[in-house]
Chains A and B, each alone.
Chain A
Amino acid sequence: MREALSLGGNHALLTRANPLAKFTAVVLITLVLALSIDWVSASVALACELLLFPLAGLGPTLLWRRGWPLILAAALGGWSTAILAPDTGSILLDAGIWSISAGSLQLGLGFMLRGLAIALPAVLLMSCTDPTDLADALAQNAKLPHRFVLGTLAAMRLVGLMAEEWQTIGMARRARGVGSHGNPYQRVRATLGQGFGLLVQAIRRASRLAVTMEARGFGGAQRTWARPSTFSGLDLWVLLGGLGIAAAAVAAALAAGTWNLVFLTRQ
């Protein structure tokens, strides 16, 4: 989990863009794709996004490792939509609560692609954005309250430690005779106990971290920034890129006649 929190020597082009610009571009694509469930707009966006991954420094191996759970989830989402959407067109399968029609199948497929096309740019965003730089941009450019932004950033740094501690507590409890195996009831109980142990440690650590931060003068209304968060020409290109992908997706779907506003789905 720790690797998700640092760029680990990634020096690709998009790591130099302002996080806020990248975030805005991703949100733009996301919102436009969310307006319609159709396979054309989703596929066009997906193809464009895949082309951008080298710019974010994400190779095929890493992309696969981060991506396969998303594919699985999107496929499941597509399946749910296919069996539960109101049927239109010819019925392909009818088994009690399940029914798949030509219309709902197309909807399910579109949904799956849309899900992926929405999930991938977020992976792209985080793989080329250091959380510290994101926090700097949120506090300095987006003017979010710096105490909350930096407090959250400092707590997020401990996520890897928390994950390790979770594992340690699991072993420590096994050494006390609490098994994490057995029937579902025992497992739930064991997980709850382990979770409680983790919460105690989380609150202890957070309290100490808060003292550390306050002792270093944190908490006042004013502060300076050793790392000024600035915009550059690259950020304009990032925004244009986001706009371009969104526009291309809509245009292709309109041209193909598949554009299908979500609010009008149930004809």
Chain B
Amino acid sequence: MTDISARKTLTRSGYNWRVVDIVVAALIAVAGGVIFWAWSQGANLISAPVNAIYPPLTGLYAGGWLIPAVLGMLIIRKPGAALFCETVAATGELIMGSQYGTTVLISGVLQGLGAELVFAAILYKKFNLPVSLLAGAGAGLFGALNDSFLPWGWNIAYAAGDKLAYILFMAISGAIIAGALSWLATRGLARTGVLSAFASRRAATEPVFS
């Protein structure tokens, strides 16, 4: 029998995904989908007339779809988390029946990529408020570019000015709804103790800006 008398410190590896990372990330995406679905039930009453009056305004509302990308990364803190969560969320939407058909998967991948690139640019070292806002805006930007310029985009036939308005609205929405809310939610979740398995368990005491 080997007696391990020496104190063994288990290191949390930076880049490998554990089973708990995968399952929690996927369920965050699923729960995010449920929340947004429930929310849009009531919000349809507002969004449908807005859409009929000036369609690009719906970009202001689109940030809700981007929450999994930012929230997933803020909690899991592993490379690929934003991309993975947003793709899972899009898959969930496909299963429930999406108005975008299978192109919803492309949207999900691109939106996730928009957030992922922001975190990658700072080498996954910071998860503070400014980075969260930027990541949300990045997801919004990529999502809006997909909607406006790729063949399957729903805004492909808009005039240039309307496309620009939509892109701007969606980036703002991404920053505020997906960025700021996810950052706040992560701090709240850290206080409840449910993040004990993740590096984000310290999120509530981390500095806001640095």
Contact = CB atoms under 8 A, between A and B. Distances in A.
Q: Do chains A and B touch in the complex (CB under 8 A)?
A: yes
Interface of A: 1, 4-5, 23, 26-27, 30-31, 34-35, 37, 66, 69-70, 73-74, 76-77, 79-81, 83-86, 97, 104, 107, 111, 115, 118-123, 125-126, 131, 147-148, 151-152, 154-156, 158-159, 162-163, 166, 187, 191-192, 194-196, 198-200, 202-207, 209-211, 213-214, 218-219, 262-263, 265
A200 B189 CA distance: 7
Given A115-B99, A118-B100, A126-B95, A206 B27 contact: yes
B204 interface: no
B19 A213 contact: yes
B96 A155 contact: no
A155 B30 contact: yes
Contact of B23 (A122, A155, A198): A155
9 contacts: A34-B103, A84-B155, A84-B159, A85-B159, A151-B19, A191-B35, A194-B35, A199-B189, A203-B28
Contact of B19 (A34, A83, A195, A218): A218
B39 A191 contact: yes
B95 A156 contact: yes
Interface in B29-49: 29-31, 33-35, 38-39, 42, 48
A158 B88 CA distance: 13
B95 A5 contact: yes
A152 B102 contact: no
B137 interface: no
A73 B99 contact: yes
Given A155-B23, A196-B188, A207-B20, A97 B30 contact: no
Q: How large is the interface on B (under 10, 10 to 19, 20 to 34, 35 or more residues)?
A: 35 or more
B14 interface: no
A152 B26 contact: yes
B97 A70 contact: yes
B101 A122 contact: yes
A202 B22 contact: no
Contacts of A84: 55-56, 155, 157-159, 162
Interface string B62-99: 00000000010001000000001000100110111111
